[in-house]
Amino acid sequence: MVVAYLCIALLGLLLTLGGFYVSLIRGKTNVVGGVPKPLDDKLHKAIRAHGNACEYNVFIALTFYILSQHQPPTWLLICMIWLTIARYAHFFGLLFCETMAKPNLLRFFGAGSTFVAGSLMCISLAMVILG
């Protein structure tokens, strides 16, 4: 349970600090609404990194919580850690890329791992629910 709860906390921290970072950049650039168009714009990248985390992290955290209530096996705890690392990798891959128009290793690892580990988590959740 500790591993799942720690991963949930880390995913929540990514959301919270990501939103704070977007607010800081908005303040510095005096852009209070909208998303700048260029794919290399710092604010655009921060908004997308935060938005993508919002799209995935809440569901992932909920999945972690439910699975943690059913004494998950070690491989599933490792999967939770892997998925948490993947979400951070994807976040920073978006945030620190030269431009979002070009792929980079962090984004590739983060997105690919999210799809694979996330699917494993969902299958495990279905198996727990179905007994």
Percent of the chain whose predicted confidence (pLDDT) is above 90: 92
Q: Provide the pLDDT for residue 131.
A: 83
Q: CA-CA distances (angstroms) from residue 129 to 37, 77, 107, 119?
A: 44, 18, 32, 15
Q: CATH number for the domain including 90?
A: 1.20.120.550
Percent of the chain whose predicted confidence (pLDDT) is above 70: 100
Domain that holds residue 45: 2-130
Q: Provide the pLDDT for residue 36.
A: 86
**Phi, psi dihedral angles at 33 (to 5 degrees):** -150, 160
Q: Provide the pLDDT for residue 33.
A: 87
Q: Provide the pLDDT for residue 18.
A: 97
Closest CA to 12 of 43, 50, 46, 39: 50
Residue 119 has pLDDT above 90, yes or no: yes
**Model confidence, pTM:** 0.93
Per-residue pLDDT reduced to its tens digit, 37-90:
899 999 999 999 999 999 999 999 999 999 999 999 999 999 999 999 999 999
The count of domains in the chain is 1
